[in-house]
Structures are given as C-alpha cells and as structure tokens.
Structure 1
C-alpha cells in the first residue's frame, strides 16, 4: 500500500523532548516567562503574554482594548472562526468584511465601507500565513480612531514591507506552531505600555503551561529553519502547478513574504471540489477546503473553490510530485 501523505505533520524531535523533560525539574513558570521575554525583545513589543490558544490571545487582546457589549469589531469573512468567536466572547458584535480575490486577505476598502458609530476596531487576519495590507489598514483605522489587531497566528516568519508578522499592528497575536508543528500555545504581543498595564490574566485555561511554552520556545527559535523548508515545498508546488488553467496557485504580492501555514489552490468553478477531495483522500493524500465564509461574494467564492494541499516542513520532493500528479489527473 502507498504511504499516506498527511495534510499536516508535526516537526518535532530531540530538542523538543529535551525541553519538555527540563520542565519536570524546573517547576512551573520559568519557560513561560522566558518565552514572553524573548518574544517581547524579538518583536519590539512592550510586553508579551503566553496563553493557551490563539482564541485566548485574541480574547485577551479585546479585553485589554476595552471591547464589550455595544461595540462592533470588523473581521474578515474568509477566515478561521477564532476572530469572530473572540469578538462574541467579549460581548461585542463581529462585522464581516469581504476579502481580496487574489490574496484572500481582508480588503481594506471593504473595511472602510463598514465603519459606523459602533465600530471599535479591526482584526486583520494574515490568511493562511500571508500578511494583510497593513499600510492601508493602518491609515483607515488611524483616520477613524479605531484599534487595529493583527491575527498572525498562522504567519510566524512572514513579512510585510520588510516588517515581521507579529509586529505589523500595535497589538498582535502570534503562534509558533504552523500546521501543528509545535503543539498548542499562542502569544499576545503589544507595544502599547498602557495596554500592558491594563491587562489582567484571568480565566480558566488561559495561561500557557510550561510544557507547551518549552516546545513553543524551540519552534520559534526554529522559525527560519522550518520556514525555509516550507518555502521549498511551496516553490515546488507552484512550479508544478503554474500554467494549468483549471487551477490557480497562491498569489504572493512582491511587498510581502508568506509563512506557508497552508498551501491553498483555487480551483476553476467548473471543477468539482468534492470529487477532487474524495479522489485525493482515496489515494492517501490529505487535503481539505480552505477557510470558510458566511455570505460575502469574494469570500464565498473562495470558500467554495479553494483546496488545501499537504503543507509542512517534512514533505519530500517525491511526495509533492505525487500530490500534484494526482491532483492534475483528477481535474483533467
């Protein structure tokens, strides 16, 4: 039987195991504190707070910004559910904005059209590891006196105009675990001292365990190594898939770099995605839809037609070729 190719795969080894073993002798606290200090320095943040999950980081960001009942927060329609859920968890109302057709990141001018008297701010998502348009988003939010939060939980190692994802807005949420490579954990980063002072870490399960912090420290230290390997995977996929009119590889504008949390191809509307998914899975190839959407035109079209291919640092060239050969055969 042909070996399976999973959609995601952990990239752990002896260093991660050694870090976890150290926790049992050091007790609770040192790893989380070290992680926070390292990331605050690395991203030029006034403070960093390690929490259990990306959703917890986003919720903590909204709490620190004073978001509550009666407020509206603009989020992308085409995205994972965590940003909208965090807004609701804070007692506010998420307002969905459409996205760019070429990048899948939130459309700044769609955001501008949605601003009203109850709008408190914007959560910009670095979709699948690709940063959003922060120059335009900063201009819009500054003009209207709104906060801007960067959801970079899929984008560790990416950049926008030479600036690192995780440092593209005054408040950012970051995870060092693309596609499950580093387990649980997320970090809230802020360069606003007032926000850091106002913040309180309360609520069950929000503080990151030392075990998870130890693993996350290793993976954040390995960001460049793992990203280089994912870049090579993405480049090979793109070489093999470019020029076929039945699908479009991901588009990366020249002013930013991608973290390749996911490799999303957009299938031609005439291609039956359900049949393609079934065909790939029957051959042991992991795949699935991309981010979901509610109803906005561009977001809904992307949600119907995007397909996530296996993407992680452990993929081999022969596996990539097997995936692309199977995909092209199924859409022919």
Structure 2
C-alpha cells in the first residue's frame, strides 16, 4: 500500500539547475546576485516599494515589528487561529500580543473582535491568511486607519491567493511570506518581507544582516570599504542557493496552485453531503492558496481515532493549526471560543501539488469511513 504524505514540495530539475548555477558562481551565501534578483522579482510581482529576502517568515515578522518601532508596554492585536509566529514576533520586542478570535466559517481573524480589542496601548494589528485564505482586509484596514495603527499581513501560507482581485502579499503596508517546505512556493526554508514603503524595506534589509548591509555589495567597491555596525541587527539572510530555487518556484506559482486547487475541488465533490464533517468555506471575494486542507469534524467525532485510522492506512494527517491563546508560552488573558473550537475539531488531510486524483479519492474514502466509525453513537449514520 503506497503511503500518501500530508505534504510534498514540488522541486525538480529546474530547481537543481538553478542551484548548480549558484555553485558555479562562487557566491552561495546571502544577499548576493541571486538574492538581489529574487528581491527584484518579488518587488515587481507585488507592486511593492521594496522586498527583502530573509531566512524565514518568523524573521520577516520580527523585522516588521522592528520597523514599526514596537516596544515594551505596547500591545499588538494578533489573529489567534494560526501557527503562533505573529505572537512570538510581538514578544521578541517585549510587547504584549492580544489575541483576537476568528470567523467560524473561514478561520480568519474577525474584524469585530479586532475592533473590540483596540485600547490605549494598541499600536498595530497582525492579520493572518489562515492556511492560505486571506483575511478581511477592507474592514481591517479601516480599523487600522481609524485608530492610526499599523497593519501587517502574515501571508505565510497564502502565496498565490487573492482578495478582491489583489494578490495576497500586497494587502497591507507590510506583508510577510514563507517559503517553507509545505508552502505553494518553497525553498525548504525561507521568507520575505514585502513593503509598500521603500524605507521600511531598506531598514529591514539592513537589520537582516547584522546592521551592516550586504557584504557582497561592499566587495564590489574599489578599495577596502570597512562596514560600520551602526545599529544592532540579526543574521536573517536568505542564502543565494535558496534564492535561486525560489526564482524558479515563483515562476511556477500559477501551475502549482492550479494543481492544488484541483485537489481541493475534488475533495469538495467527494465530501459533498457528508454530515460528519464540513469542508473549507471560501468567500466569493477571495481565492485560496490551499497550503493546507482542513475539514471540521462534527461534534462527537473522535479526531484522534480518525487520525489513527488514517495513519494505519498510510495517510498523513495533522490537527490543523493552533489556538494561540491557549499556548502556555503566552499566558494570554483573552478567551477566543471560536478559535478554541476549531483547534479542537479541525483535521488536516493531504494537500500538495503532487497528489493524484486516485490518491485524493483514496484519502476521502478512508476519511469518510473513519469519521463514521468514530462518531458518537447518536451521530453515526444508519
């Protein structure tokens, strides 16, 4: 029985050829020629004032907080139902993440919940495009403008998605992307900060390289320029090896997203009418990047047992994502009941561009059997 993995990066010969070119160039480190080319590609794709390639999306979020001058005593409202990288970034600054509950139908942050949390110490909002679905940016931007707050888009999962005709990654003044192995465009690890203001991008690029900027650039100057460390920075550079892979991957976004979308559409057909689970909801004004495919199990279905059955059949699964406010690291004061409920009932099933339709059908068959087997007696179909 062939195993069906939860995720699988779509990397092949074109990416290998790009890496070979970097090897031949003699500059595999960060902020070199391929990194600059990647940043130019990202800047053009998102119509941005600047783009900065970095080691991961968490680094991009950290740089965004630095750029906006977040400091101890400040509060930043963050979407709750997500991998808690936004809350980590806020805590890096000594500030307090304030967790906002999410919409039950989409899992994206609820603008009404955000508006209710704005207080005298609030300086910004980090919205999240939950597992690939953009949040409600029209409403969120209006809240940010009304209270003079910054708005950051965590588009880690959403490369290729759209909201009201605009691409995820271009929906706020700063957006943060991920190129982790399970994303729609991947270099194994990696990220980027996209900014409408070139000054924010320049600040982020400087802080991403220990505060001294590109050693490659310094090496192109005649003489012996010696960089000065004028501020404290970090080592958040993306290698030129990863940048070369990503240039190929970004050129393939539409191709790979079409394949993921076909998988999602087929899942929707196969689960139609299944009362023991709910498939993802995508509002008409946006499109999904399908980083993950999460089904919401009905009350009384034993999720752990369903996952056990999937594993026994060689099928990958996971819990979905996190209700950040219940994580011990944050000692949160907020209660986010919708997020907590999704955290308890969501189940991720295989989603990637390499799935065949026969594999999708097998996954759906095993899932349907498992949820019926492990439903509470009152919910089991006759």
Q: Distance in 1 between matches of 2:113 and 2:318?
A: 28
Q: Is 1:74–1:122's contact at 8 Å kept on the other side of the alignment? A: yes
Residue 328 of structure 1 is aligned with which of 361, 368, 381? Answer: 368
Kept in 2: contact 1:6–1:310 (CA 8 A): yes
Q: Which residue of 2 aligns with 1:187?
A: 192
Residue of structure 2 equivalent to 1:132? 135
In structure 1, how many angstroms separate the alpha carbons of the residues matched to 2:261 and 2:179? 16
1:264 corresponds in structure 2 to 294
Tell me if the contact between 2:2 and 2:314 (Cα under 8 Å) persists in the aligned partners: yes
Instruction: State the 1:178 CA deviation.
Output: 6.3
The runs of 5 or more residues in structure 2 that have no matched partner are 211-232, 327-334, 373-382
Q: Is the 8 A contact 1:183 1:216 kept in 2?
A: no
Unaligned segments of structure 1, at least 5 residues: none
- Conserved? CA contact 2:193–2:201, under 8 Å: no
Q: Distance in 2 between matches of 1:195 and 1:154?
A: 22
Task: Compute the displacement of 1:194 (Å).
Answer: 3.5
Residue 173 (1) aligns with residue 176 (2): yes
Task: Tell me if 1:68 matches 2:59.
Answer: no
Match of residue 280, structure 1, among 310, 331, 336 = 310
Return the offset for 1:98.
0.1
1:7 aligns with 2:10: no
**1:11, 1:182 within 8 Å by CA — same for their partners in 2?**
no
| C-alpha separation in 2, matches of 1:205 and 1:5 | 37
Q: Does 1:123 align with 2:122?
A: no
Q: With the length of structure 1 as denominator, give the TM-score of the two structures.
A: 0.97
Q: C-alpha distance in 2, partners of 1:331/1:194? A: 52
Compute the RMSD of aligned alpha carbons. Answer: 1.2
Q: What is the CA–CA distance in structure 2 between the aligned matches of 1:214 and 1:138, rounded to whole Å?
A: 34
- Once residues 92 and 120 of structure 1 are traced to their aligned partners in structure 2, the CA distance between those partners, rounded to angstroms, is 10
Counterparts of 1:72 and 1:232, CA distance in 2: 41
Are residue 23 (structure 1) and residue 22 (structure 2) matched? Answer: yes
Structure 1 distance, partners of 2:307, 2:194, is 37
Match of 1:209 among 213, 220, 239: 239
1:232 is aligned, of 248, 262, 265, to 262
- Offset at residue 303 of structure 1 (A): 0.2
Tell me which residue corresponds to 1:318. 358
User: Contact 1:176 / 1:223 at 8 angstroms: preserved in 2?
Assistant: no
Partner Cα separation in structure 2 for residue 192 and residue 252 of structure 1: 30
8 Å Cα contact 1:152-1:165 kept in structure 2: yes
* Matched positions, count: 331
